[in-house]
Structure formats: structure tokens, C-alpha cells
Chains A and B, each alone.
Chain A
């Protein structure tokens, strides 16, 4: 079962613009993570936010979490062509040992 759903499915922007991706999930969670995947390669961890946190920053990344709405957003500021990749959210629900991924957002950044 898919826990997370990302929105939009695809996003195209120009270099320098900000990119915002959203993730919605179905059940209560302990943690939410965001990962990046370059075409056909392994996923790379970007940031982890715990259920008692509302916002977290890492470099040009800003993640928010709204547990009342069961949603999270990933903001990439001042995007670069090198940010072109797919981005996935992943959650671990209460009382499970699983890390469940969403379907991803494909981000294309044009130079």
C-alpha cells in the first residue's frame, strides 16, 4: 500500500526559481523523510523531520510538516540545473517497522 502521494507528479522550472513539492500520507507517522533520485540511480537521503517538528532546513532545502493535515512540503530555493531529479517522500507509520515511499515528483530545472 502506498503511504505517501507526491504532488505534482512533474514540475519544470527555470534555474534560479524555487521548486515546491508536496507529500500527503494516510496514517499517523513517527517520521517523514525526503529522498532524491537521479535517473535510474540509487536514492540519496536529503532530510528527516520527526512528527513533533514543524519545519527543518538544510542548505537550500526547507521541509515543513503538518501532522493535522497529514502533509509535508519540500522547498528547494534558487534551483540549479543539477537539482534535476525525482524527489520522494517516505514515512514510517505508528506501530510498523516499514519505510513506505510515495510515487515521487520529477523535477526538471532548465538552465
Chain B
């Protein structure tokens, strides 16, 4: 079954404690991205990657890091989480860049930073 898998689904952490949210896709997609979703603001893109070792900033990259060492994995790293990073996070993948093909989304990670 084609899918994008994020882990964990729920996470509560304290300010400053580094964390990683994993994302894996089994569709051999080249394009992967991370979004955060906040009430009234819709989905905002954090980072995206067009292929292995190729990543670029989205609209809200501050406080986040990503890596793309393998095609299937695209982890999101918060080096020093702060309360304003409390949000619902989604990983997505698509066969081609940008919006030229449909994106497949993970189930989301609800992060709370206290």
C-alpha cells in the first residue's frame, strides 16, 4: 500500500530538548516536504526536498532542520524546540516537483512544547 508514515503521532516535550520527527515514503517519490498547520493559518511549508541531498527552505523554516540522505526518508529536526513550535506537522511526498502531481500526506504529528 502506498503510504507516507510519520512518527510519532503525538509528542509532548519541554523547551530546548532536541527532537526528531521521522517521515518515510514507499513510493519512490523524489519530492518530499514538511508542513505545519495552525488554526486560521492553514498549512505552511517548512522545508522541501527535490531529491537526495537537495533541500530548500519553505515559508517558515526558522527553528527547523531537515536532511535527505536516502530517497525514502525525510526527517524533521527541532534542535531547540520552543512553545511557538507547538503545532500539527505533516510530511508529504509526490512523484514530481511542486504541484505538478498529487501529494500524499502522512497522518500528522501533533507536537506540544511546554
Contact = CB atoms under 8 A, between A and B. Distances in A.
Nearest to A47: B102
A21 interface: no
Q: Is the interface of B mostly helix, strand, loop or mixed?
A: strand
Q: Is the interface of A mostly helix, strand, loop or mixed?
A: strand
Interface of B: 4, 31, 33, 35, 40-45, 48, 50, 56, 58-59, 88, 90, 92, 94, 97-108, 110
27 contacts: A2-B44, A33-B99, A33-B103, A40-B88, A41-B107, A42-B90, A42-B105, A42-B108, A43-B43, A43-B92, A43-B105, A48-B102, A90-B99, A90-B103, A91-B99, A92-B98, A97-B48, A98-B45, A98-B59, A99-B45, A99-B98, A99-B99, A99-B103, A101-B43, A101-B45, A103-B40, A103-B42
Interface of A: 1-2, 29-33, 35, 40-45, 48, 88, 90-92, 96-104
